[in-house]
């Protein structure tokens, strides 16, 4: 059972995509020393923990999600000494450090897999998932790779297929093998001893596959133009009941090191997501809640999503919310620049731990990547339908100097064309910028316990208006969000909406009393406070 005062309940997480945050050595790719250099910025922003996408040794077929050494730092990002310096500097600044753990698969260049494919009787053979061909020589079943094509790759030397949920260069580990579990738990202990404060576990719902390798059923709701792997439902290749035992074992590894956090990447409907908290909350502390990443941006839809999530949570489980990440289009492009400010207020006033994605706080938009500049293997394998993730991974826009202050060299992905105006330096100087809104929201959250630990209470509303309250510790905060372009006027007498505005997304109404009527401009949100 998690403690009510745990740091990961109270804190705000910030995801860094290391390749794109800050380059310190002029090779066009971000690195660990660059992150250290930018820690003061993160402190002024007010976040409490940084989560780093993979920095381990890798051939970079999937930009670090194909690991060839779980306990090494890829030279592209620096050295182990650089990592130690980052952890030390972060901790001295009061920041926690969370690593990306990628246990579902390795690189095909990992020594484990190099051994496994040498022969059928190699001791490492059962560390991966091998199956004989069908009688016609074809793949063992109909499972599909999320990056296109069959999920089975034929190995000519040994006459069997191996399973890969993603690229053929990313063979899946066999998590039914106790030796695999022990090896990965040792990896976790290695980093925990180095002071890491927890892990975000990549595709955690993929870890266990059906023991009988049954075909997946067809997806009757498949929509043409969607990624081809969605033609089948991954009923037998993901979300198997036995996965929860694995997660409970991971949790025990962390618990042995004290106050650490286990976060799971899980793209599942809310009702199935809840199982990942584990029996008696012995699973992931925070199974990532991605509902807002694909939600229709309408008040009633958002209201329904929040209600369903809050209702589904097991007793004592702690919620969390996410607006963006390294796999999904930027929020400012999904909902528009004006609503991105309203979305920020939503994220930072809902009950639960919020995770920010680097650059969202300056309103970075999805960047169009020319066909000859595509780097993402997903887009290369499944071109023409807009699955590319490069556009949300472009370099952080620090200032108006060449390459946005990210690097002295041409960056690995192009910088957004608007960087001359939309950058940290300019937006810091603009008192009403989205960056200063994020800073104000984070300060407000830290000042008012009700926003961190208070109850969530929906308030009936209509049209484009979303209303809810957070109450506790002798205060009530009402959040009113206008998700539409048109102004909204709401009678407040007897509604409990009276008080004073603590913050507007326009950053121009602090202290304004609300009595009788609440008027919201189009695309405006406010936080109203009053004492109990």
pLDDT score for 331: 98
HEC per residue, 352-384: CEEEEECCHHHCCCCCCCCHHHCCCHHHHHCCC
For 460, the token pair is 């009936």
Q: Is the predicted pLDDT of residue 87 greater than 90, yes or no? A: yes
pLDDT grade for 3, boundaries at 50, 70 and 90: low
pLDDT tens figures, 114-132: 999 999 999 999 999 999 9
pLDDT score for 493: 82
Beta-ladder partners of 459: 467
The one catalytic residue among 265, 303, 379, 422? 265
Spatial neighbors of 93 by CB under 8 A, at least 6 apart, are 39, 43
Please tell me the class of the 455-531 domain.
mainly beta
pLDDT tens figures, 61-70: 999 999 999 9
Q: Is the predicted pLDDT of residue 133 greater than 90, yes or no? A: yes
Per-position DSSP letters for 32-67, written without gaps between them: HHHHHHTHHHHHHHT--EEEEPP-EE---TTTTSS-
d(CA 100, CA 52): 6
pLDDT score for 502: 98
pLDDT grade for 1, boundaries at 50, 70 and 90: very low
Domain boundaries 7-106+178-441, corresponding CATH code: 3.20.20.80
Q: Is 475 a catalytic residue?
A: no
pLDDT tens figures, 353-384: 999 999 999 999 999 999 999 999 999 999 99
Q: Is the predicted pLDDT of residue 401 greater than 60, yes or no? A: yes
d(CA 375, CA 17): 15
Please tell me the class of the 111-163 domain.
alpha beta
For 254, the token pair is 């962390």
Per-chain mean pLDDT for the chain: 97
Task: Average the pLDDT over 493-519 and give the result.
Answer: 93
pLDDT grade for 496, boundaries at 50, 70 and 90: confident
pLDDT tens figures, 427-471: 999 999 999 999 999 999 999 999 999 999 999 999 999 999 999
Domain boundaries defined on the chain: 7-106+178-441, 111-163, 455-531
Q: Is 265 a catalytic residue?
A: yes
pTM, rounded to two decimals: 0.97
pLDDT score for 2: 43
The one catalytic residue among 48, 62, 66, 202? 202
Q: At what angle do helices 337-349 and 434-447 cross, to 10 degrees?
A: 10
């Amino acid at each position: 059972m998690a403690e009510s005062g745990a740091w990961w309940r109270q804190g705000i997480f910030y995801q860094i995509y290391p390749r794109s945050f800050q380059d310190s050595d002029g090779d066009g790719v971000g690195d660990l020393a660059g992150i250290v250099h930018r820690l003061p910025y993160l402190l002024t922003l007010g976040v409490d923990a940084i989560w780093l996408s993979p920095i381990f040794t890798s051939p970079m077929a999937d930009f670090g999600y194909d690991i060839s050494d779980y306990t090494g730092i890829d030279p592209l990002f620096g050295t182990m000494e650089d990592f130690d310096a980052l952890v030390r500097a972060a901790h001295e600044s009061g920041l926690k450090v969370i690593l990306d753990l990628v246990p579902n698969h390795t690189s095909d260049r990992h020594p484990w897999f190099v051994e496994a494919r040498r022969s059928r009787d190699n001791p490492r053979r059962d560390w991966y998932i091998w199956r004989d061909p069908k009688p016609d020589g074809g793949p063992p079943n109909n499972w599909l790779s999320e990056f296109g094509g069959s999920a089975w790759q034929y190995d000519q030397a040994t006459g069997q297929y191996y399973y890969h949920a993603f690229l053929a260069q990313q063979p899946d580990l066999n998590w039914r093998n106790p030796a695999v579990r022990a090896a990965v738990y040792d990896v976790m202990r290695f980093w925990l001893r180095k002071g890491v404060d927890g892990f975000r576990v990549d595709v955690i719902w993929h870890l266990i596959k059906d023991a009988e390798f049954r075909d997946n059923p067809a997806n009757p709701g498949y929509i043409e133009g969607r990624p081809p792997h969605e033609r089948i439902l991954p009923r037998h290749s993901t979300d198997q009941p036995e996965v929860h035992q694995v997660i409970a074992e991971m949790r025990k590894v962390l618990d042995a090191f004290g106050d650490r956090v286990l976060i799971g990447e899980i793209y599942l409907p809310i009702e199935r997501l809840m199982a990942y908290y584990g029996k008696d909350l012995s699973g992931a502390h925070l199974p990532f809640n991605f509902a807002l990443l694909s939600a229709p941006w309408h008040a009633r839809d958002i209201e329904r999503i929040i209600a369903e999530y809050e209702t589904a949570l097991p007793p004592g489980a702690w919620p969390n919310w996410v607006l963006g990440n390294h796999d999904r289009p930027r929020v400012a492009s999904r909902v528009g620049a004006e609503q991105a400010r309203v979305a920020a207020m939503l994220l930072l006033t809902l009950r639960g731990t919020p995770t920010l994605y680097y650059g969202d706080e300056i309103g970075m938009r999805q960047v169009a990547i020319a066909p000859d500049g595509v780097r993402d293997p997903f887009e290369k394998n499944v071109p023409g339908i807009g699955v590319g993730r490069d556009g949300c991974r472009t370099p952080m826009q620090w200032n108006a100097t060449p390459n946005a202050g990210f690097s002295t060299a041409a960056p690995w992905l192009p910088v957004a064309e608007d960087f001359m105006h939309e950058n940290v330096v300019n937006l810091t100087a603009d008192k009403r910028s989205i960056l200063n809104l994020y800073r104000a929201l984070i300060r407000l959250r830290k000042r008012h316990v009700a926003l961190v630990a208070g109850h969530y209470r929906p308030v009936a509303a209509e049209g484009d208006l979303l209303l809810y309250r957070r109450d506790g510790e002798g205060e009530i905060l009402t959040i009113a969000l206008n998700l539409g372009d048109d102004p909204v006027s709401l009678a407040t007498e007897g509604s409990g909406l009276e008080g004073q505005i603590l913050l507007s997304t326009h950053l121009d109404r602090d202290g304004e009393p609300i009595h009788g009527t609440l008027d919201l401009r189009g695309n405006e949100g406010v936080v109203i406070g009053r004492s109990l």
